[in-house]
Amino acid sequence: MTLAIIGTGNMAKGLATVFAGNDIVFGSRNPSDTALSIADAVAKADIVFLAVPYDAAADVVAAANGFAGKIVVDLTNPMKADFSGLAIGFSTSAAEEIARLAPQAKVVKGFNTLFASVLQNGGKAAGTPATVLLAGDDADAVAEVEALVNAAGLKAIVAGPLAASRNIEAVAALNIGLGYGQGKGTDIAPTWVGI
């Protein structure tokens, strides 16, 4: 299983930590010794992780030739510039908009409710394996990501079809509000008991 991480920033580093047991390639708009071009990274991948700003998604979809046939895990949070809340959300979500941009991709929402530092700490918040909320319209793609998450020692919870990303992105906004607005810090993560 080869994973392509698009982006080389904080979330990309965190994913690389969590998935250290897998083959990983990075894709970047600025290829280097450690990162391929976006198109080359995607071509090698079974699963692609989109670890770029939401506003960069259209650029990346174009660079990836539409991600045709690939599972694309969308980590983005479409926050307002001042992080006071989501810029979109009642009638669509970042994940649904990315699926519209890349109709041949199998888009799965995930990891956006976790701070990068939680991933960089091996997927643990306050010492506890973190929960990854997932959503997607392709049941096989969701099941593949669910298995990957659980194998990495985190806890996957499938929330439903891709439109459930509206709620998952709202949970992420709440998490950011607690971590920064309410000063709880970034060693926190949302989960559900009873599942």
Ligand X SMILES: NC(=O)c1ccc[n+]([C@@H]2O[C@H](COP(=O)([O-])OP(=O)(O)OC[C@H]3O[C@@H](n4cnc5c(N)ncnc54)[C@H](OP(=O)(O)O)[C@@H]3O)[C@@H](O)[C@H]2O)c1
* Residues of this chain that bind ligand X (CB under 6 A): 7-12, 28-30, 51-54, 56, 59-60, 75-77, 112, 115-116
**Distance of closest approach, residue 7 Cβ to ligand X, in angstroms:** 4
Environment class of residue 163 by beta-carbon count within 10 Å: exposed (0-12), middle (13-18) or buried (19+)? middle
Give whichever of 51 and 154 is closer to ligand X, judged by the CB atom: 51
Give whichever of 160 and 179 is closer to ligand X, judged by the CB atom: 179
Q: Write out the two tokens for 77.
A: 């949070």
* Closest CA relative to residue 65, chosen from 94, 92, 84, 41: 41
Give whichever of 62 and 147 is closer to ligand X, judged by the CB atom: 62
Q: Per DSSP, what are the bridge partners of residue 43?
A: none
Q: How far apart are CA 166 and CA 137, in angstroms?
A: 14
Q: What is the DSSP letter of 163?
A: G
Give whichever of 19 and 115 is closer to ligand X, judged by the CB atom: 115
Q: How far apart are CA 43 and CA 70, in angstroms?
A: 9
Q: Write out the two tokens for 27.
A: 């894709």
**Distance of closest approach, residue 193 Cβ to ligand X, in angstroms:** 22
Determine which helix (DSSP H) or strand (DSSP E) holds 10, and give its type and residue range: helix 10-18
Q: Is 118 helix (H, G, I), strand (E, B) or coil?
A: helix
* Closest CA relative to residue 95, chosen from 110, 83, 82: 110
**Distance of closest approach, residue 54 Cβ to ligand X, in angstroms:** 5
**Distance of closest approach, residue 129 Cβ to ligand X, in angstroms:** 17
**Distance of closest approach, residue 185 Cβ to ligand X, in angstroms:** 12
Pairing status of strand 71-74 against strand 131-136: unpaired
Give whichever of 26 and 158 is closer to ligand X, judged by the CB atom: 26
Give whichever of 15 and 141 is closer to ligand X, judged by the CB atom: 15
**Distance of closest approach, residue 144 Cβ to ligand X, in angstroms:** 21
